[in-house]
Amino acid sequence: MKPENSFLSRIHLYIIISGFFVLPGIFISCNQKPIPETTSAAIKKSDSVQKKFTANMVNNKKDPSCGMPLTAGIEDTVHYNGKVYGFCSDECKQIFLKDPKTLAKNAEMKN
Ligand SMILES: [Zn+2]
């Protein structure tokens, strides 16, 4: 009886040991892939948020097209009649370019 018992306990020990080596391997291979993707996406997102222009680079206080305060960020600018107009987005710039005369007249300018 004694040699048989020790044989069984060796099998159990082998299963336990192989379980320790195999299981962490599965977890590591599963965790490794998604992590670099999410961090690179987060870096990309924060880069696109940064605006190229600041409110002190333009002559208007608010976006002439949508009325948004330019302190929130300026995406693009237009030089018109010796003044620099800042816009929150390219879309607002395009709206201004369609009718710059009216929008420049109504634009809230700095003193
Ligand atoms: Zn706007």
Model confidence, pTM: 0.55
Instruction: State phi, psi for 69 to the nearest 5 degrees.
Output: -60, 135
Cα 104 to ligand 1 centre (Å): 14
For 39, the 3-state DSSP assignment is: helix
Q: What is the mean pLDDT of each run of 10 residues along the chain (111 residues)?
A: 71 78 63 57 52 90 96 95 96 98 96 80
Distance 78 CA to ligand 1 centre (A): 13
| Inter-residue contact 76 to 89 (CB < 8 Å) | yes
Question: How far, in Å, is the centroid of ligand 1 from the Cα of 42?
Answer: 25
Maximal C-alpha separation, the chain: 104
Phi, psi of 87 (to 5 degrees): -135, 145
In this prediction, residue 37 carries a pLDDT of 57
Question: Which DSSP letter does residue 89 get?
Answer: S
- Which pLDDT belongs to residue 33? 56
Residue type (1 letter), 54: T
CA 66 to centroid of ligand 1, rounded, Å: 4
